[in-house]
């Protein structure tokens, strides 16, 4: 175990050290993050990092492989563009958590702000509490599981992917619809939330794209050949 004191280092020094220590296979701990931005970004291999305190914007972003635990809250866009690995946040996440994530898992212990999972392209986002306005906005793939309630306009303009809501969901966003949840699907979800240490077996509401805004028949010739 190697411990870094963030109070003694610049953000660039912290990220450079984290990458180096990850290469060396060390288990790493970061103390005193004090809600600073860009903590633990751009690490492209599996490693274990434990951040003891809140982090700021874009923290644990641009990652491929790491397992990162954060004891505290995050600012906007935690876990942006995650390719693989797992991010566990014990507290509240700011807006746009897991923005454009493509794989891996982001777990938020308490509430997530507005636009959780915006433009997700894969992977799984689990929110232990409530999520805010425009959850799953323009989502393209992957799944969002919210244990509590969501804000208004859930699933607005989503293309693909699934949003599961354990509590009450706000108004459906443009072109979002509710679909029946299959029994096997539900058992799979319970298993997944159980593995994240969450109790209960909520009967999730499943929200998907109604695809009424799909206009693939009016594609350009080159686009048609790509579909």
Partner 1 sequence: MCGISGIMYKKGSAACLAPIGRDLVGMLDSLAHRGRDSTGVVVAGQDVDADLIIRVWTDAGERAADVFSRAEDAVARAGGVVTSRATWGECLRLAANYEGEVPLLAETLIETEGVELHSIGRASEVVKDVGTATAMDGRHGVSHLRGTHGIGHVRMATESKVDVSHAHPFWAYPFPDVAVVHNGQLTNYHKLKRHYEDLGHHFQTHNDSELIAVYLADKLAAGDSLEEAACGSLDDLDGTFTYLVSTQAGMGYAKDRWSAKPLVAVETDNIVALASEEVALHSVFSEEVDRVEPQQSEVMTWSV
**Which residues contact partner 1 (rule: CB under 8 A)?**
34-37, 53-54, 56-57, 72-73, 75-76, 92, 94-95, 111, 113-115, 132-134, 151-152
Nearest approach in angstroms of CB 122 to partner 1 is 25
Closest to partner 1 by CB, 35 vs 210, is: 35
Nearest approach in angstroms of CB 109 to partner 1 is 13
Q: How far is CA 144 from the centre of its chain?
A: 8
Pure H helices in the chain: 11-23, 183-195, 221-226
Let me know: does 76 contact 98? Beta carbons within 8 Å: no
Nearest approach in angstroms of CB 51 to partner 1 is 12
Closest to partner 1 by CB, 54 vs 124, is: 54
Nearest approach in angstroms of CB 65 to partner 1 is 27
The angle at the Cα of 67, spanning 18 to 3, to the nearest 5 degrees, equals 40
CA atoms within 13 A on the CB side of 57: 2
Q: For residue 4, which of 56, 43, 44, 53 has the smallest C-alpha distance? A: 53
Closest to partner 1 by CB, 85 vs 151, is: 151
Closest to partner 1 by CB, 47 vs 165, is: 165
């Amino acid at each position: 175990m190697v411990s870094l004191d963030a109070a003694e280092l610049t953000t660039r020094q912290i990220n450079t050290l984290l990458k180096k220590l990850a290469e060396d296979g060390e288990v790493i701990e970061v103390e005193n993050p004090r809600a600073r931005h860009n903590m633990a970004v751009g690490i492209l291999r599996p490693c274990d990092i434990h951040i003891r305190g809140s982090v700021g914007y874009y923290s644990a972003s641009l990652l491929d492989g790491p397992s990162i635990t954060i004891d505290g809250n995050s600012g906007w866009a935690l876990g942006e563009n995650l390719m693989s690995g797992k991010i566990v946040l014990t507290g509240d996440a700011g807006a746009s958590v897991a923005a454009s994530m493509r794989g891996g898992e982001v777990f938020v212990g308490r509430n997530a702000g507005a636009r959780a999972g915006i433009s997700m392209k894969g992977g799984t986002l689990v929110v232990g509490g409530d999520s805010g306005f425009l959850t799953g906005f323009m989502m393209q793939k992957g799944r969002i599981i919210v244990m509590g309630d969501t804000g208004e306009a859930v699933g607005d303009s989503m293309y693909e992917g699934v949003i599961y809501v354990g509590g009450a969901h706000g108004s459906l966003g443009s072109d979002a619809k509710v679909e029946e949840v299959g029994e096997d699907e539900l058992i799979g979800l319970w298993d997944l939330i159980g593995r994240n240490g969450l109790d209960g077996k909520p009967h999730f509401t499943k929200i998907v794209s109604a695809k009424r805004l799909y206009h693939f028949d009016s594609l350009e010739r080159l686009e048609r050949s790509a579909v």
